[in-house]
């Protein structure tokens, strides 16, 4: 799903940013090439902080890149002196934390994902005080709802194309890509499950 989101942001961005001679580079950009690194955090920690750190390191979803962190996409202008757009994409399921219908606000989980990403980047890089590049976080929930920042990036594409009416098309294009990715995953899972069940049944019959 991450790859599907990355691909559709690249394709959609190229469709509209190319009108201003800005195109995506599929090679993941190194953050240290665009932003000043921050000094490493203090090594003095309380026992609780140390325990939390160890817990994070044992998390298989924890990204240990730190100062070597990369974004997902760089939209590069033809003129080297112009502003560069870096984009980090992420997906999140609104069902991952015991979702309760009466407390869920569409897009709220995507916004949380953006904040989590930003906090990680700000530990290692000064992503604010630069005139060379800007960092965007493009988050979407698996139900197709975009984060506030993702919507702003979509609006930017529409503004660059000087066609505000195209905004709904951009939303639909991204949402369809995510739904297609989900459908593919479900289809693959069902195929694997069916194949496994068939093989188990065959082995069981042969044993009898």
Helical (H) or strand (E) element with 54: helix 47-57
**Full domain range(s) for residue 118:** 2-207
2-17 helix and 148-160 helix, angle to the nearest 10 degrees: 30
Let me know how long the chain is.
Answer: 208
**134: closest CA among 31, 45, 48?**
31
CA distances from 195 to 140, 144, 201, 205, 206 (A): 32, 30, 10, 15, 16
- Residues whose CB falls within 8 Å of the CB of residue 92, separated by 6 or more in sequence, listed in order: 109, 110, 112, 113, 139, 140, 141, 142
Count of structural domains, the chain: 1
Would you give per-residue pLDDT tens digits along the chain (208 residues)? 899 999 999 999 999 999 899 999 989 999 999 998 888 766 555 545 444 443 344 444 455 567 789 999 999 999 877 899 999 999 998 775 555 555 788 899 999 999 999 999 998 898 776 788 999 999 999 888 999 999 999 999 999 888 878 999 999 999 899 888 888 888 888 888 776 555 655 555 555 5
């Amino acid at each position: 799903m991450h790859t599907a989101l990355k691909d559709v942001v690249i394709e959609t961005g190229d469709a509209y940013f190319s009108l201003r001679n800005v195109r995506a580079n599929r090679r993941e950009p190194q953050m240290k090439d665009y932003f000043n690194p921050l000094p490493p955090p203090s090594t003095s920690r309380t026992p609780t902080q140390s325990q939390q750190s160890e817990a994070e390191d044992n998390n298989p979803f924890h990204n240990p890149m730190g100062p070597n962190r990369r974004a997902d996409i760089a939209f590069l202008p033809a003129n080297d002196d112009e502003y560069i757009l870096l984009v980090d994409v992420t997906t999140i399921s609104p069902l991952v934390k015991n979702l309760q219908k009466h407390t869920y606000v569409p897009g709220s989980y995507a916004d949380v994902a953006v904040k989590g990403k930003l906090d990680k980047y700000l530990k290692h890089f000064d992503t604010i005080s630069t005139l060379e590049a800007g960092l965007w976080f493009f988050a979407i929930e698996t139900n197709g709802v975009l984060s506030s920042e993702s919507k702003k990036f979509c609006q930017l594409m529409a503004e660059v194309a000087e066609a505000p009416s195209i905004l709904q098309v951009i939303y639909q294009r991204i949402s369809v890509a995510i739904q297609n990715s989900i459908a593919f995953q479900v289809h693959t899972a069902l195929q694997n499950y069916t194949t496994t069940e068939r093989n188990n049944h065959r082995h069981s019959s042969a044993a009898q």
